[in-house]
């Protein structure tokens, strides 16, 4: 089953051995969040906080949900204010991107067909995603590239030069290429990173600086038509999370 589905009658959709959460007509984000939290039997306080709602999605085991497939049926979101609507669709994409190949749970979001035209313009490839099965991670209608399996900066940049048919001489040049590459190729581009531990500490930090700068650039200019997505193996999450914490602390 696809992650996001449009159908004429969401309330009639049924799948055997799945947890079905019905979300009736809602007029504000508090009602929406309450429907989801109640459906997942989530025991913690969410109120109308989007970050807390994402944490709720990330932890279905905190409630009493023991089904692998979790389906959310949205009967009618037309009453949601536009900003709340767009924020919720962003949450949907974060959830479906992060857990696209999660072995424990799979979310499917079902919407009414008449809302497809309102929803689709808000759908876009996320610039950063975790993958449990990075070897087989694929995105339709995107150019797939693999992070070069090289342990040192010089070899890494030489490999990128070959992949991109450019003379990549330093990290700053590589960052500028990454920022412009999707629009130059007129395509979404996905870079799979299968093992970041091969890099030494300095090169790892230099490369992750590029990743975060590119991600921030996209978030600040998300009207861009195409996206460069950095896909990382879930096994590298500890390594990258440590970098993330150090990056935050260094800016204080």
Enter the DSSP assignment of 151: S
pTM score over 0.75: no
Distance of CA 102 to the CA centre of its chain: 13
Residue 145 contacts residue 191 (beta carbons within 8 Å): yes
Task: Name the 3-class secondary structure at 156.
Answer: helix
Per-residue pLDDT of the chain (252 residues), as tens digits, is 468 888 887 777 777 778 889 998 999 999 999 999 999 888 888 888 998 998 888 877 776 667 778 899 998 999 999 999 988 998 898 888 765 445 567 888 999 888 888 888 777 777 888 787 788 888 878 889 888 766 556 667 777 777 777 777 788 888 888 888 888 888 889 999 988 988 888 889 999 999 998 888 776 665 567 889 999 988 898 899 899 888 888 876
Q: Could you please report the per-residue DSSP string of 30-76?
A: HHHHHHHHHHTT--S--TT-HHHHHHHHH-GGGTT---SEEEEEES-
* Residues 128/240, Cβ–Cβ less than 8 Å: no
Angle between helices 29-39 and 50-58 (to 10 degrees): 20
Residue 131 near residue 101, CB atoms below 8 Å = yes
DSSP element (H, E) containing 206: helix 201-220
Residue found under tokens 């204010």: 81
- Cα 220-91-225 angle, rounded to 5 deg: 40
Asked whether the beta carbons of 93 and 126 are under 8 A apart, the reply is: yes
Query: Phi and psi dihedrals of 224, rounded to 5?
Result: -60, 140
Q: How many CB atoms lie within 10 A of CB 171?
A: 16
Q: Are 67 and 18 in contact (CB under 8 A)?
A: yes
Q: In what order do the strands lie in the sheet with 4-7?
A: 4-7, 106-112, 69-74, 18-23
Identify whether the C-beta of residue 99 lies closer than 8 Å to the C-beta of residue 69: no
Do the strands 69-74 and 106-112 form a parallel or antiparallel pair, or are they unpaired? Answer: parallel
Query: For position 1, what pLDDT does the model report?
Result: 43
Assess contact for 63 and 43: CB atoms under 8 A.
yes
């Amino acid at each position: 089953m696809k992650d996001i589905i449009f159908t004429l009658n969401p309330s009639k959709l049924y799948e055997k051995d799945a947890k079905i959460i019905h979300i009736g007509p809602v007029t504000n984000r508090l009602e929406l969040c309450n429907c989801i939290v109640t459906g997942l039997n989530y025991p913690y306080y969410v109120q109308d906080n989007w970050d807390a709602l994402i944490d709720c999605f990330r932890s279905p085991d905190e409630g009493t949900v023991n089904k692998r497939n979790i389906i959310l049926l949205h009967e009618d979101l037309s009453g949601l204010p536009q900003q709340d609507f767009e924020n919720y669709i962003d949450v949907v994409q974060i959830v479906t991107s992060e857990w696209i190949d999660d072995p424990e749970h799979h979310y499917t979001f079902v919407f009414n067909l008449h809302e497809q035209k309102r929803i689709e313009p808000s759908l876009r490839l996320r610039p950063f995603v975790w993958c449990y099965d990075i070897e087989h991670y694929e995105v339709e209608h995107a150019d797939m590239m693999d992070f070069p399996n090289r342990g040192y900066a010089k070899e890494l940049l030489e490999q990128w030069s070959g992949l991109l048919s450019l003379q990549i001489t330093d990290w700053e040049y590589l960052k500028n290429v990454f920022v412009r590459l999707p629009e130059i190729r007129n395509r979404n581009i996905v870079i799979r990173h299968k093992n970041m531990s091969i890099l030494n500490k300095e090169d790892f930090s230099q490369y992750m600086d590029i990743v975060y700068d590119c991600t921030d650039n996209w978030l600040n200019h998300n009207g861009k038509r195409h996206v460069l997505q950095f896909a990382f193996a879930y096994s590298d999450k500890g390594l990258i999370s440590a970098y993330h914490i150090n990056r935050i602390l260094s800016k204080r």
